[in-house]
Structure 1
Amino acid sequence: MKVAVTFPIPEAAKVLLDEMFECRVWESDVPIPQDTLASWLAEVQGVLTTLTCPLGEEVLTGAQNLKVISTVSVGVDHIDIDFAKRQGIALGHTPGVLTDSTADLAVGLMLAVGRRMAEGDALVRAGAWSDGWKPNLLLGTDLSGSTVGLIGMGPIGQAVAKRLKGFGCHVLAWNRTPREVAGVEFTDLETLLSNADIVSLHTALTDDTRGMISRERLGLMKDQAMLINTARGGIVDEVALVEALATGRLRAGLDVYAEEPLPLDSVFRSLPGCVLLPHVGSATERTRRAMFELALANLVAGMQDEPLPAAL
């Protein structure tokens, strides 16, 4: 049986896969071209992929022998799930294993933006900190005791809420389906946006959530409120967010963007009041190893016509 791997993988993983399957691996850090991907998929029974590789109807149409798609990610907005399921293709992803690392990063961004850590680092590195301690130098805002609104209360949202308890935060939450979480006050989206000092996004990107943080909803947020996004860039109207950041009305901590990697001419790069990260929510050695192991388990199970450990 044949497997296509759409991204470079460690040599040890390659050896492991070669012991079980005939593998074809895309070795470049540049994303695999769609025409190349389509030709590979026409010949394989399984594919191991990531969120940087779109698997839409066009490339899947010719994948007549494909049995399983295993993605090294929790999010699956890069896959045409409905079409794949109609084709009888098993789908696996990697939930759970990256919950803690992503929750840690979300809280880290709250602290970094509020306490202006990136600005302080730049000041010291530039040699511009020359007068010692000053009472008004880089005054920021506290996470402790603040009101934090969490949009999406799946495992990651709940893990963030758990961490915020230690900071004495008042946690508001909104979820697409009813849910109860101890110590969390659930409310409607507009009330959350209007009352939170910090709004943190933890919902999946779907047709329903695309652009849900619109210009109008950003307008509901308090002056100097903070938007944290470790979910997906497409959830936010980035044009409206740029305008709010440029005027200094809002602040932001962003790990994800509508277009990734962030273009070199992106206005975000020059805006005040924001911390920008390169989609590293799950980027710890322990988490990435666990993601890869789960993705491999999904792939092997699908190739053997067995239930996937983490099926969609």
Structure 2
Amino acid sequence: MNTLELSETLRAARSSNDHVVAVLTPYERDLFLPGWRPDSGSSARVSQVDVSRMSREEWLDMLREMQPTVLLTAWSCPTLPMEWWAESSLRYLCSITGSVKPRVPRIFIEQGLLVSNWGSLISHTVAEHALLLVLAALRGISGWPAMMREPRDMLQMMQRLKTKRLRGARVGVHGFGAVARELILMLKPHHVEVSVYSEGVPQAHYDEYSVRRCDSLDDLFAGTEVLIECEGLNDRTKGVVTRELLSLLADDAVFVNVGRGRVVDENALIDLAREGRLRVALDVYHREPLPGDSPLLDTRGILLSPHVAGPTSDTYPLCGWQALENVARFLRGETPAHLVTLEAYDRAT
């Protein structure tokens, strides 16, 4: 369905008592909803505001003045003010993007605000990127440019690149959310042995995906040949992947992170890569964008990706269209899809 068709759906669903406010920058609107514009040809109001340069006081004043019943948001939306909640008419916040913690205090959901996000829509793109990084690290891709510029003796080249296969490897996955589940499906054709650890995940999930459940991170890391980090960042997981854990991996193992940078001891990754103990491939970092003087940039054995594992250019509009469908669903009195539960909120970054 294109944006014009979705606009018609949204118009048909509107009630005169509802005010839908799209909190989007022009860039976000064109990225997620190309061709879509709020229109005034309906009894209900649809407005768009760019609050990216507003102060907190201006943001609060705007909410009090516009009194939205529905907010359509993306990355630029500020945190909802606590002092506004008691007087607000807001019933639904539809996030086009993933994490809602930067925008929605937990108490809002506790007290009945419906909140949705893009759900598992981009999980496959992150999983694809994780698999790309695994294969690139195994095949020594960071050394390819030098090999192409130099006279090549096949034996010397293979000795320097030390290419390895994925098939049959012992693979560990830290985290068992939507990305990890997509990734496990992509790994299966390679006939790998998959082990998973994620605190609080029921046994039925492990059984459904036919993977070995680890009782601890020590169990997950010990002897693993490929470790893929997919866990979200919260108070419980910050810094949980320590130097000691990384040292448990098999010699010359691959470590890939498509989750969050601060889950892992970044200095330990650098040291172990320099020692030739690990092949490292990262899409996320402690500081982003990565500073120009970061030792990650010059460490042999570390492959860097510019945090592009998320939506691809052709999936951004899908995220926007899904959000408009959700808003239309809510305005028809139906339950939106991909609601963020308190459990999901607590586990998310």
Band of TM-score, shorter chain: 0.7 to 0.9
Structure 2 stretches lacking a partner, 5+ long:
1-18, 40-44, 341-349
- Residue equivalent to 2:150: 130
1:271 corresponds to 2:271: no
Amino acid at match of 1:74: G
1:39 Cα deviation (Å)? 5.4
1:212 Cα deviation (Å)? 2.0
Amino acid at match of 1:69: L
Amino acid at match of 1:184: V
Q: Which of 86, 89, 93 is the equivalent residue of 2:117?
A: 93
- Residue equivalent to 1:21: 46
1:192 Cα deviation (Å)? 1.3
Q: Pairwise mapping of residues 120-159 of structure 1 onto structure 2 (< 5 A)?
A: 120=144, 122-123=145-146, 129-137=149-157, 138-159=161-182
Amino acid at match of 2:24: V
1:201 Cα deviation (Å)? 1.8
Q: Pairwise mapping of residues 177-188 of structure 1 onto structure 2 (< 5 A)?
A: 177-179=201-203, 180-188=207-215
- Residue equivalent to 1:227: 255
Identical aligned pairs, as a percentage? 24
- Residue equivalent to 2:268: 240
1:281 Cα deviation (Å)? 1.8
Distance 1:170 1:223, change over 3 A: same
Q: Secondary structure at the match of 2:181?
A: helix
Q: Which of 161, 165, 170 is the equivalent residue of 2:193?
A: 170
Q: Which moved more, 1:289-298 or 1:268-277?
A: 289-298
How many residues in Structure 1 have an aligned counterpart in Structure 2?
302
1:97 Cα deviation (Å)? 1.5
Q: Which moved more, 1:187-196 or 1:259-268?
A: 259-268
- Residue equivalent to 2:347: none
- Residue equivalent to 2:29: 9
1:70 corresponds to 2:104: no
Q: Is the 8 A contact 2:96 2:118 kept in 1?
A: yes
Distance 1:109 1:303, change over 3 A: same
Structure with higher Rg: it is 2
Higher relative contact order by CA 8 Å / sep ≥ 6: 1 or 2?
A: 2
Amino acid at match of 2:168: G
How does the TM-score come out when normalised to structure 1? 0.82
Distance 1:251 1:3, change over 3 A: same
Q: Secondary structure at the match of 2:208?
A: coil
Q: Deviations over 1:24-68 (max 9, x none)?
A: 136xxxx65664655555545244334x547446x4544645443
1:206 Cα deviation (Å)? 2.7
Tell me the distance in 2 between the aligned counterparts of 1:89 and 1:223. 49
Distance 1:25 1:247, change over 3 A: same
Q: Deviations over 1:201-245 (max 9, x none)?
A: 223323322222123322322332222111222322323333333
How does the TM-score come out when normalised to structure 2? 0.74
1:165 Cα deviation (Å)? 2.0
- Residue equivalent to 1:117: 141
Amino acid at match of 1:284: T
Distance 1:260 1:37, change over 3 A: farther
Q: Which moved more, 1:96-105 or 1:107-116?
A: 96-105
- Residue equivalent to 2:325: 297
Q: Secondary structure at the match of 1:135?
A: helix
Q: Is the 8 A contact 1:150 1:173 kept in 2?
A: yes
Distance 1:61 1:214, change over 3 A: farther
Q: Deviations over 1:123-147 (max 9, x none)?
A: 26xxx62313421312222212211
1:272 Cα deviation (Å)? 1.8
Tell me the distance in 1 between the aligned counterparts of 2:36 and 2:291. 36
